[in-house]
Amino acid sequence: MVATAIVPQAAATSSSTTDIYRAGRFEPNDFAIAAEDNGGDGLILPLAALRAALEGNSTGNRQLGLLFSPADRFEDAVPLLGQVAVVAVDFPKFSDGRGFSHAARLVRAGFRGEIRAVGDVLIDEIPLMRRVGFTAFEVSNETARRYLAEGRDPSPSLHYQPGALPEPPAGTRPWLRRRTT
């Protein structure tokens, strides 16, 4: 008989990841969230701190990103979008879906930079996140990381409803869309 320990989800995930899942593979993280800043090239700041840093020009040569929390007002972030390379949309818990709406609104507003999901990002949410505009994922859940590293991406290849991004139609049914990879 093998003994197993029941580990709470929060304990099973690491609080900080060193890489980002982007374009089908894990890559080095080029931006650090302010609370985990290690002095690298990029810095992701909460909305109020980003606004203060841009007004005071206190970041030097570092590239900046916006940490967009679920309760942040989208209208407050729009004027800053042209000055950031990354918008990290926070998912404090997997059941909080406001980040999906924020990503779709960023795409509709014309933001061309990286839209990154951070926080409680699970494997089954990644296909839906891609459809609304996310391009990178900070995955700390060990099961999700293992599945992605093994190439076990659960994204379906056909969709019946349009997403936020343009998708080519599949065959003669205009409502059936083919996933673009």
Contacts of residue 170, Cβ cutoff 8 Å, sequence gap at least 6: 158, 176, 177, 178
Check residues 157 and 86 and name the one with the higher pLDDT: 86
CA Rg value for the chain: 18
Percent of the chain with pLDDT over 90: 37
> Has residue 51 got a pLDDT over 80?
yes
> Has residue 11 got a pLDDT over 50?
no
The string of pLDDT tens digits covering residues 83-117 is: 999 999 999 887 888 899 999 999 999 999 999 99
pLDDT at 180: 61
Give the Cα separation of 164 and 101 in Å (integer).
Answer: 10
The string of pLDDT tens digits covering residues 158-175 is: 666 666 666 655 555 555
The values of phi and psi at residue 38, to 5°, are -115, 15
Least confident of 4-13, 33-42, 91-100, 120-129: 4-13
pLDDT at 10: 34
Give whole-number Cα distances, 174 to 48, 83, 160, 170, 177, in Å: 43, 37, 9, 7, 7
The string of pLDDT tens digits covering residues 21-43 is: 998 899 998 888 876 666 667 88
Going along the chain from its start, the domains and CATH numbers come out as 27-178 (3.20.20.70)
Check residues 177 and 129 and name the one with the higher pLDDT: 129
Q: Quick one: pLDDT band at residue 59, thresholds 50, 70, 90?
A: low
Considering the entire predicted model, what is its pTM?
Answer: 0.75
